[in-house]
Amino acid sequence: MQSQMIINIGRLAGLDENPGILRGPSLAALPVIENAWLSVEDGRIKDYGSMQQLQTGNGQQALIDARNATVLPAWCDSHTHLVFAASREEEFVDKLRGMTYAEIAAKGGGILNSAAKLNKASEKELFNSAMARLQELILLGTGAIEIKSGYGLTLEGELKMLRVIQRIKQAVPIPVKATFLGAHAFPEIYKQDHEGYISLIINEMLPNIAKEGLADFIDVFCEQGFFSPAEMIRICEAGAKHGLQPKLHVNQLNSIGAIEAGIALNALSLDHLETLTEAEIALLSGSAVAGSGWQGLCTLLPTAAYFLRMQFQPARKLLERGCAVALASDFNPGSSPSGNMNTVVSMSCIQMKMLPEEAINAATINGAYAMQVQHECGSITRGKKANLIFTKPIPSIAYLPYAFGANLIDKVMINGAFVS
């Protein structure tokens, strides 16, 4: 049994002994103990409290002096595309020259570009490159992550991606969730045969994925030029037969009825949400259906909006209407080539006017709920994994998003051990 006592914590933030999804005003509350201690046993949080109330520990505990660091839960990044074969900086230059996201996709760029490269790459190459990215993200404070497929777009390619994610699950010390996103785009050969590709997803991809137990969730990119709400419903209903709950790409570019469809599917989370009408915000908040309403999360991806120079998600409106907001990086080679959750938290405050406490809660406990790892991660709770961020000395919690260009992380602890 390994036991550690962490003392002289400047502030211990994100305490929650009765964690639940935080909605609306409740995201603004971030419980903190100033001048705190925290004990860890076998990689999990055992207890915590004020240094003034600290009882003399037993001599078998390893003593760690936090030296006035702020300690908070590691980030829970619930929406990424971490497995990909190559970067797409040439499309970055196309955007600088004035091409739109849709125009790049229409000429075979975007998702289809990544798919072509991925299908040429070996499983070993994909695993090695994704592991290098993830190891960097852990050092930046990510303590749980979701990874999607969706750059295969063939039976073999999608299975290859999901097998790589399974290998990653076994290789890293943090929780990893896998999402099947075969419905990311229509491959070129199915551009005029949507039914043919949907049949491939439903009748071949899903049964094989279920047989190998490769996915935890299912996703669909529901947008003009991609998958319609009706197509999304068919695919997700087929996924449900294999035990896969939806986590969905909706309303990034257009409002086409995806919100209504996602709510009808009881999606765990609806992600992106750059383009929302007042009626859709009402649906997301549950106020449009008296006495019922959807209980999922609105996962906002501000770095994607930033990179694509799109309007940012209306976080303040969602919070004021009582929605459960989570934050994630959308790490991918085309529209958000960064998985740095510290940047996500800062950008959420600067561009979406979220309070620091709201942004931290959205990137920790609500992010954990958005990929169903809330019993393991996302808050300082007795019994949860000791996946923790130790900051350099900072004057306040607000300084984290305020000093957006600085690396304020001193150390990261995963399962009670510091990583390097």
CATH code for the domain in which residue 388 is found: 2.30.40.10
Provide the token pair at 68.
């006035």
**Residue 374 lies inside a defined structural domain of this protein:** no
Distance CA 337, CA 390 (A): 25
CB-side neighbour CA atoms (13 Å) of 185? 19
Specify whether 256 is located in the same domain as 352. yes
Specify whether 216 is located in the same domain as 176. yes
Q: Which helix (H) or strand (E) holds 272?
A: strand 269-272
Place of tokens 């409290």: 49
Distance CA 278, CA 25 (A): 19
Domain that holds residue 221: 75-369
**Residue 140 lies inside a defined structural domain of this protein:** yes
Specify whether 8 is located in the same domain as 46. yes
Specify whether 55 is located in the same domain as 100. no
Specify whether 114 is located in the same domain as 57. no
Specify whether 244 is located in the same domain as 142. yes
**Residue 209 lies inside a defined structural domain of this protein:** yes
**Residue 91 lies inside a defined structural domain of this protein:** yes
CATH code for the domain in which residue 198 is found: 3.20.20.140
Specify whether 87 is located in the same domain as 38. no
Distance CA 316, CA 333 (A): 28
Rounded-to-5 percentages of helix, strand, coil across the chain = 35, 25, 40
Specify whether 178 is located in the same domain as 37. no
Specify whether 95 is located in the same domain as 162. yes
Q: What is the pTM of this model?
A: 0.96
Do 420 and 207 touch, CB atoms closer than 8 A?
no
Distance CA 38, CA 54 (A): 10
> Over its length of 420 residues, how does the chain's per-residue pLDDT go in tens digits?
589 999 999 999 999 988 789 999 999 999 999 999 999 999 999 999 999 989 765 567 899 999 999 999 999 999 999 999 999 999 999 989 998 877 887 777 889 999 999 999 999 999 999 999 999 999 999 999 999 999 999 999 999 999 999 999 999 999 999 999 999 999 999 999 999 999 999 999 999 999 999 999 999 999 999 999 999 999 999 999 999 999 999 999 999 999 999 999 999 999 999 999 999 999 999 865 544 578 999 999 999 999 999 999 999 999 999 999 999 999 999 999 999 999 999 999 999 999 999 999 999 999 999 999 999 999 999 999 999 999 999 999 999 999 998 999 999 999 999 999
Structural domain count of the chain: 2
Specify whether 51 is located in the same domain as 84. no
Specify whether 213 is located in the same domain as 262. yes
Predicted local confidence at residue 286, as pLDDT: 82
Specify whether 231 is located in the same domain as 312. yes
Distance CA 352, CA 368 (A): 21
